[in-house]
């Protein structure tokens, strides 16, 4: 359980999603046309002041990236709808 940085209340676990596909929002870093997925966002919200905290719960991808692992994906061309 996260604690609010503003008022120290106990925050509620929530979701931060793209409402069009209900998937958690991904955190990525980019270099040119390449990207790397660092993790899905987790979310907590303070019921007292409304503060929202976004964070990555699983730090394994970030730790591998920070350690210099070279693993990048090319961006896919956007699909036409
Ligand atoms: Zn708060």
**Gap from CA of 45 to ligand 1 centroid (Å):** 8
**Gap from CA of 2 to ligand 1 centroid (Å):** 11
* Domain coordinates in residue numbering, the chain: 12-74
Of the listed ranges 6-10, 25-29, 47-51, 74-78, the least confidently predicted one is 74-78
**Gap from CA of 14 to ligand 1 centroid (Å):** 14
Residue 80: which pLDDT band, with cuts at 50, 70 and 90? low
**Gap from CA of 63 to ligand 1 centroid (Å):** 29
Are 68 and 26 spatial neighbours (Cβ–Cβ below 8 Å)? no
Specify the pTM. 0.73
- Whether the per-residue pLDDT at 68 is higher than 90: the answer is yes
Residue 67, judged by CB atoms within 10 A of its CB (0-12, 13-18, 19+), counts as exposed
Helices (H) and strands (E) in the chain, counts: 1, 5
Residue 7: which pLDDT band, with cuts at 50, 70 and 90? very high
């Amino acid at each position: 359980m996260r604690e609010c940085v503003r008022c120290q209340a106990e925050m509620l676990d929530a979701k931060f999603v793209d409402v069009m596909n209900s998937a958690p929002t991904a955190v990525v870093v980019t270099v040119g046309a390449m990207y790397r997925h660092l993790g899905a966002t987790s979310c907590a919200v303070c019921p007292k002041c409304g503060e929202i905290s976004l964070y990555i719960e699983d730090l394994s991808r970030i730790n591998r990236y920070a350690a210099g692992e070279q693993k990048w994906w090319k961006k896919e061309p956007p699909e036409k709808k």
